[in-house]
Amino acid sequence: MANTVRGSEPAKRIRLNSIFVKIAGVVGVAAALLTGLTAVQYTNATMRLVSEELQHAAQEANKLITSNLSGAIRFADDAPIAAQIELLTGHENSETLYGLAIDAAGEVIVAQGNDVAVEPELVALARKAVETGADVLSDDGFLVASPAVFKGEVVGAFATATTPELILAMAKMEHGKVTLAAVATVAVGILLLVLGLRASVARPMTRLARAVDSVGRDELDIDVPGTARGDELGDIGKSVDRMRDSLKAAAETRRESAFRGAAFRASQSAMMMIDRDLNIIYVNRAVTELLRKHTESLRLHKPDFDADALVGRNMDDFHPGELRSRVRRILENPANLPYTATIAVGQARLTLQISAVEDEHGQHIGYVNEWKDVSTEFFTRAAIQALDENMLKADFELDGRFTYGNALFHRAFGRHPDDGKDWAPATAVSERLSQAIARCAGGEADYDVFEVSLPGMPRVFLDGGFTPVKDDKGQVIRISFLGKDVTTAKVTLEAAEAERAAMLEAQAQVVAGLRRGLGRLRDGDLTVAIEEAFSSEYEELRRDFNAAVEQLFHAMRGVIENASQIRGEASEISHAADELSQRTERQAATLEETAAALDQLTSSVKSASDGATSTNDLVQGARENAETSGEIVREAVDAMDEIASSSQKISKITDVIDDIAFQTNLLALNAGVEAARAGDAGRGFAVVASEVRALAQRSSDAAREINGLISASGTQVKRGVDLVDQAGTALKGIVESVKEISRNVSEIAVA
């Protein structure tokens, strides 16, 4: 009777390394990661969008402000610029940290704000904006400089530094609230999901795991739980039940397989077992390591080759094209076995020996393939053969006696390897060869281009080296030479050196001629010409020099004529400047007369005030004085009206003066532009124009001050008119009272 698995009982506690805990952890971590990544992505996207909008707004605002301040920047009027910067940076929590303006020369007009550290970078950006005529931004986009354009000309730049920290901080705070709400929602969902997994998956898997553990301990007489379920856990239970049955049958074969494969696996030779259809059924570790080294080369022929997944593949994968059918024909005949072949795997060379495998009845059931890497031996032989075919090679004894030379070595000296002629010792040929032999005998190699001159033969140049050949104890046993015949190249090089020397001599002649010509040209001689003929390669250079000097002569003559014409035009401009100065002096005299008229107006207003006070005292004294004062009041009102009318006329006069100053300023500005165009000839006129502009500016300022004083006087006059009207009304009341008193007194007198 089958035993009931103890694992079917419910678990008493939850293990931290259980699948349930892992699944719950994975779900929790995944949900947390998803929530966190979503929140981070959303926050980053929002922050990036806010930053981009702030950058764009800062750029547009800076362009607008620069447009408004272009006139002030042009005339270096720092007051409106400073006021604008104060408006941007002065209030609390301002996004603008700093602002400055520079003129066209790059000099700072105004710079102020709360972060002086950014001023150098702002100045650099502003200067770049002046140079390029376009907006310039910092790497983060919050430092912006815009060129100031006045009447189509870049006259300076305005730059501001803004910070997104306040807006970003508010945005982050709002995102934090949203993230907390999302985390709470996800946490509740995870809790419900984990409880469901525990009831439907974790506990059944725990019972099934204990059943598998019992089968693993060879307790094969148990009941496997979950076989009646229709889901994946039921499939696992059925599989475990079938595994329990198959394990009984496999117990015996397992022991036999262990002994049979031990020797094959432990072999140091790279071996694989192949069935009759050339399918690989087993490989040992040595063949896996061997083929793993050549994986890249094998994948050129078979892209999906994997040295760790050889079992199950066919040997045809190692045989390209028609070689597959030829190999199969060879292996089908056991008489051809064992069969040995060498194959190329990229740059490597591998030999494989295929032997037949027979069963206990002598039937052919497969093959054993032994692999061996013979790349080193193969390429060593190939290298030696290539050197012998392409390089001169010779061997010498330690005393310099010749012992061997290949065909190329003999051919270099016009000999044949079998002609039987004796070679003189290398030490007797030249002192240089004797030194090389001595160094090699001492264990050092010697590389050089060696000149060899044998009796009755032309010179031979050999580029190579004498190398000592040592035994396993480090003793030099012979000397070997390996090199190339460079006789032809050496002779060609000597001819080229001679040609180069001739060319250098011709170049020296050219340089000397040009030096003399340029020296005279430097001293102001525009009639210089190189008369000495150059070599044919440089004759065109001499003609070009002479032609260039001749053209320079004609050009300088034209420059002198133009200079005379410019001097005359500059004189005319200077005369016009003198006339402009005289007109400006006459305008100054007019302003002085206006100031004198204003002084007289002030005296009249004071006299009118004293008259009003005297009239008030007379009204209080008697009826006659009251009536007289009433007339005086009416006259004072009329005088006040005339004063107000005169003030308005004077104000209009000052407006005209202001307009005249503005037009004078424009005329001076245009004169300065013309002077700048005239260059050095108009420099003095530019100074006069600058003084005229300054005088016009002072006239305009004085006119504005007069206007202000007249406005204030008008206000006071109006107030005086009102007071006089009130005094007139009061005097009328007093006159009526005096008349009543007079009647009463008359009546008393009559009585």
- Res 616: pLDDT: 42
634: which 2 tokens? 């009416």
> For a pLDDT cut of 70, what percent of the chain falls above it?
65
Domain 15-203, what architecture? Answer: 2-Layer Sandwich (3.30)
Q: Does the pLDDT at position 403 exceed 90?
A: no
Q: What is the mean pLDDT of residues 314-343?
A: 77
- Res 4: pLDDT: 46
- Res 156: pLDDT: 92
- Res 308: pLDDT: 80
15-203 shares its CATH topology with 267-379: yes
Q: What is the mean pLDDT of residues 455-483?
A: 85
Name which of 261-265, 559-563, 616-620 the model is least confident about.
616-620
- Res 366: pLDDT: 83
pLDDT band at residue 721 using 50, 70 and 90 as cut-offs: low
Query: Which 3-state string (H, E, C) describes 73-103?
Result: HHCCCHHHHHHHHHHHHCCCCCCEEEEEEEE
Q: Which residue has the tokens 């206006």?
A: 594
740: which 2 tokens? 């009543």
Alpha-carbon 658 to chain mean position: 54
Q: Evaluate the omega torsion of the peptide bond into residue 338 and state whether it is cis, within 30 degrees of 0.
A: yes
Q: Where are the domains of the chain?
A: 15-203, 267-379, 391-485, 572-750
**CA–CA separation, 462 vs 452, rounded Å?**
8
pLDDT tens column, 356-374: 887 767 778 888 878 887 7
pLDDT tens column, 113-160: 888 888 898 889 889 988 988 888 888 888 889 998 888 898 899 999
Task: Assign 3-state DSSP to the chain and report helix, strand, coil percentages, each to 5.
Answer: 65, 15, 20
- Res 430: pLDDT: 80
Q: Is the dihedral of CA 161, 167, 168, 169 positive or negative?
A: positive
pLDDT tens column, 204-259: 777 777 777 777 777 767 777 777 777 777 778 778 777 777 776 666 556 555 56
Contacting residues for 639 by C-beta, under 8 A, at least 6 apart: 604, 608
Q: What does DSSP assign to residue 390?
A: H
**Which residues are paired to 96 by β-bridges?**
162
Q: Does the pLDDT at position 597 exceed 60?
A: no
> Which CATH number, 3.90.1300.10, 3.40.50.300, 3.30.56.10, 3.30.450.20, labels domain 267-379?
3.30.450.20
Of the two residues 690 and 508, the one the predictor is more confident about is 508
**Which residues are paired to 351 by β-bridges?**
342, 372
Instruction: For 278-363, list the strands marked E by DSSP.
Output: 280-283, 339-345, 348-358
- Res 100: pLDDT: 92
449: which 2 tokens? 């281009």
pLDDT band at residue 593 using 50, 70 and 90 as cut-offs: low
CATH numeric code, 391-485: 3.30.450.20
How close are the terminal C-alpha atoms of the chain, in Å? 164
481 with 396: CB under 8 angstroms? yes
- What is the rounded average pLDDT for all residues in the chain? 73
**CA–CA separation, 534 vs 516, rounded Å?**
14
Of the two residues 255 and 193, the one the predictor is more confident about is 193
451 φ/ψ angles, rounded to the nearest 5 degrees? -95, 125
299: which 2 tokens? 């994948």
pLDDT tens column, 527-548: 777 877 777 777 787 787 788 7
**CA–CA separation, 326 vs 341, rounded Å?**
12
- Res 74: pLDDT: 86
Name which of 195-209, 580-594, 595-609 the model is least confident about.
595-609
Contacting residues for 31 by C-beta, under 8 A, at least 6 apart: 186, 189, 190
> Each residue of 205-214: b (16+ CB within 10 Å) or e?
bbbbebbbeb
Closest C-alpha to 697, from 595, 573, 576, 591: 591
**CA–CA separation, 623 vs 731, rounded Å?**
10
Instruction: Output the CA–CA distances (angstroms, integers) from residue 488 to 415, 459, 484, 495, 531, in the order listed.
Output: 18, 10, 11, 11, 43
Name which of 213-227, 411-425, 489-503 the model is least confident about.
411-425
Instruction: Output the CA–CA distances (angstroms, integers) from residue 329 to 337, 546, 640, 748, in the order listed.
Output: 12, 89, 138, 173
- pTM score: 0.30
User: What is the length of the chain?
Assistant: 751
Alpha-carbon 539 to chain mean position: 51
**CA–CA separation, 289 vs 677, rounded Å?**
86
User: Long-range contact list for 393-398, CB < 8 A, 24+ apart?
Assistant: 393/480, 393/481, 393/482, 394/480, 394/481, 395/469, 395/478, 395/479, 395/480, 395/481, 396/426, 396/437, 396/466, 396/478, 396/479, 396/480, 396/481, 397/478, 397/479, 398/437, 398/441, 398/476, 398/478, 398/479
pLDDT tens column, 75-89: 888 888 888 888 888
Closest C-alpha to 291, from 345, 235, 246, 247: 345
- Res 157: pLDDT: 92
- Res 681: pLDDT: 58
Q: Does the pLDDT at position 311 exceed 50?
A: yes
- Res 618: pLDDT: 42
- Res 6: pLDDT: 44
Select the highest-mean-pLDDT range: 18-32, 61-75, 446-460, 493-507.
61-75
Burial of 740 (0-12, 13-18, 19+ CB in 10 A): exposed
Q: 572-750 domain in CATH 1.10.287.950? A: yes
pLDDT band at residue 7 using 50, 70 and 90 as cut-offs: very low
Q: What is the mean pLDDT of residues 453-464?
A: 79
Q: What is the mean pLDDT of residues 19-45?
A: 72
